[in-house]
Structure 1
Amino acid sequence: MDYTIKKAGLEDLDTVAELFNLYRIFYRQADNYEKCRTFIQERLDNEQSNIFLVYIGDKAVGFVQLYKLYHYIKLQKQWLLSDLFVHPDYRGKGLSVALIDRSKKWCEETEACGLMLETEKTNDIGNQLYPRCGFEYDGSHNYYYWWK
């Protein structure tokens, strides 16, 4: 399948927001396109994330969103692969792998030491995909959250 990957800018806001909304719905969140649009616009306006879109022809069918972090051991920048989504109609065609590969290339382009991610234990597809793409499972750390 022929595809192209493009770094998203503000001109792609509506496209990214639509896919981001579908991504959140996949993770059992309420449908809220306007809130998603505002969220993505803030990330792009403030250069707080980097988003890559994958296209089949002229239709965007998936995205990956990366946030900058810093690694305390390597003392370097790294990227958090926060969000990865391919529309259900286009899954199983290697597009998630292509987006991950583009994220790895972004690490090289930005002189980052690597990527990290977390996913739900119940995400069977992701938990099979990430090791196939060279990610190593880190069973020695617990992740905790605090929400106000």
Structure 2
Amino acid sequence: MRIITAGPAELEAVVPLFDAYRRFYGQPSDPEGAARFLEGLMARGESVILLACQEDPPEALGFTQLYPGYSSVSMKRLWTLNDLYVRPEARGRGAAALLLEAAERLARESGAKGLQLETAPDNLTAQRLYERMGYVRDEAYCHYFRSTIGD
């Protein structure tokens, strides 16, 4: 298994994974919308998508998507690991850990302060993986969200 940085040539392999990820979080399937969304992000350089690929036969097993951001307090870049998904039939083979390691490498190489991520409170499998990989649950800050006003 290898991890590659996905570009326009890999869009076709990423779309079904991204669509499955969205369905996991209760969204309706929308492969066409997913393709437009991801293609736009790639074209504008607004995210980095890492893809876990099986060599033989060649097959995309999972992905993670990272968004760049900044910490004003530390005056450093940080990355938000927004999406992480591995196909159910490919789980347990180390793809998620390899994707996290590749994300950490990207953060180090870009001089980032670190990586931040969040997951659903009931996604205990992901939480165990993150904690095993050295991520620490944030108990110091309260996170808030407000949907777009007027929608």
TM-score range, shorter chain: over 0.9
- The alignment partner of 1:113 has SS state of coil
Name segments (4+ residues, structure 1) moved above 4 Å: none
For 2:64, the aligned partner's letter is: V
CA apart distance, 1:62? 0.3
Aligned pairs, how many? 146
Unpaired stretches in structure 1, ≥5 consecutive residues: none
CA apart distance, 1:140? 2.1
Distance in 2 between residues matched to 1:72 and 1:95, nearest whole Å: 33
For 2:35, the aligned partner's letter is: R
CA apart distance, 1:10? 0.7
Unpaired stretches in structure 2, ≥5 consecutive residues: none
2:19 corresponds to 1:21:
yes
CA apart distance, 1:19? 0.7
- The alignment partner of 1:69 has SS state of strand
Matching of residues 126-145 of structure 1 within 5 Å: 126-145=126-145
- What CA deviation, in whole Å up to 9, does each residue of 1:56-99 have, x standing for no partner? 12101100100001113321001000000000001011110100
Identity of aligned residues (%): 33
- The alignment partner of 1:28 has SS state of coil
- What CA deviation, in whole Å up to 9, does each residue of 1:6-49 have, x standing for no partner? 10001111111111001111111101100011110011000000
CA apart distance, 1:100? 0.2
Distance in 1 between residues matched to 2:71 and 2:84, nearest whole Å: 21
Instruction: State the TM-score, normalizing by the size of structure 1.
Output: 0.95
Q: Which position in structure 1 is the counterpart of 2:103?
A: 103
